[in-house]
Amino acid sequence: MNKQLDEQYYQKLLELQQLDFGLVELTLYLDTHPNDLQALQQFNQLAQQRQQCAHQFEMQYGPLLQFGLSYSKFPWQWVETPWPWQV
């Protein structure tokens, strides 16, 4: 990866982490406030953003997850490093 791609890679991973944090927090809140429509709408919006962000990341850099939860281009990309949890 060149320097610009490295910066884009880390920026996209940061965006995914931020979306995941928001989704975890909203999940915990909704567990105790299941009738909060605004929180549920926000959760669904973040879930959609996360799905789009993850798809863009995977198309550019390879799969984030394994066991059929992410697609792979040819050749098999899972063996490429670094894996998302290694950075």
- pLDDT tens for 12-68 read 999 999 999 999 999 999 999 999 999 999 999 999 999 999 999 988 888 887 766
Query: Does 31 or 86 have the greater pLDDT score?
Result: 31
pLDDT beyond 80 at 85:
no
Q: Say how many CA atoms lie within 13 Å of 82 toward its Cβ.
A: 9
Please choose, from the candidates 84, 50, 51, 57, the residue with its C-alpha nearest in 3D space to the C-alpha of residue 73.
57
Q: What is the distance in angstroms between the CA of the first residue and the CA of the last residue of the chain? A: 14
Closest CA to 51 of 80, 11, 15, 7: 15
- Outline where 33-86 has alpha helix (H): 37-61
